[in-house]
């Protein structure tokens, strides 16, 4: 089973969903000189978020987000590792397509 944000549903078709929020990981190392490991950020955030999944009310809200919002995790952005231009273009296209779904 893939690791997902807050143990929410994994959705590889976010453009066809009625999601209010879409979580997309961007594993990217090229912006950190001498500090490799940024590409592990999305997995680390998902792992830590599973510890919060049992909390019903997350500060500063006094409600359970999952009861009011449809949030899905669509996994990580896929691009040729080491190609900053492709990553940027694919991320922009992904964001524009998500924003156009509304």
pLDDT in tens, the chain (102 residues): 678 888 888 898 999 888 899 999 999 887 777 777 778 889 999 998 887 766 666 667 677 777 888 889 999 999 998 899 999 999 999 999 998 865
Q: Which long-range contacts (CB under 8 A, 24 or more apart) does 59-66 make?
A: 66/6, 66/8
3-state secondary structure of 74: strand
pTM for this prediction: 0.78
Q: Which residues contact 102 (CB under 8 A, 6 or more apart)?
A: none
- Helices H / strands E in the chain, number of each: 3, 2
Per-residue model confidence (pLDDT) at position 56: 63
Per-residue model confidence (pLDDT) at position 102: 53
Per-residue model confidence (pLDDT) at position 39: 86
Please say whether the beta carbons of 60 and 67 come within 8 A: no
Q: Report domain extents, the chain.
A: 5-100
Torsion of CA 26, 30, 33, 34, to 10 degrees: 80
Nearest to 46 by CA among 67, 27, 25: 25
Per-residue model confidence (pLDDT) at position 55: 67
Token reading at 101: 């779904």
């Amino acid at each position: 089973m893939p690791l997902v944000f807050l143990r929410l549903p994994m959705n590889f078709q976010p453009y066809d969903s009625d999601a209010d929020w879409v979580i997309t990981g961007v594993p990217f190392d090229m912006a950190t000189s001498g500090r490799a490991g940024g590409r592990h950020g999305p997995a680390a955030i998902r792992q830590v978020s599973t510890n919060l999944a049992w909390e019903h009310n997350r500060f500063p809200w006094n409600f359970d987000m999952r009861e009011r919002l449809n949030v899905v995790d669509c996994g990580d952005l896929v691009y040729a590792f080491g190609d900053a231009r492709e990553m940027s273009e694919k991320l922009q296209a992904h964001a524009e397509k998500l924003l156009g779904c509304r």
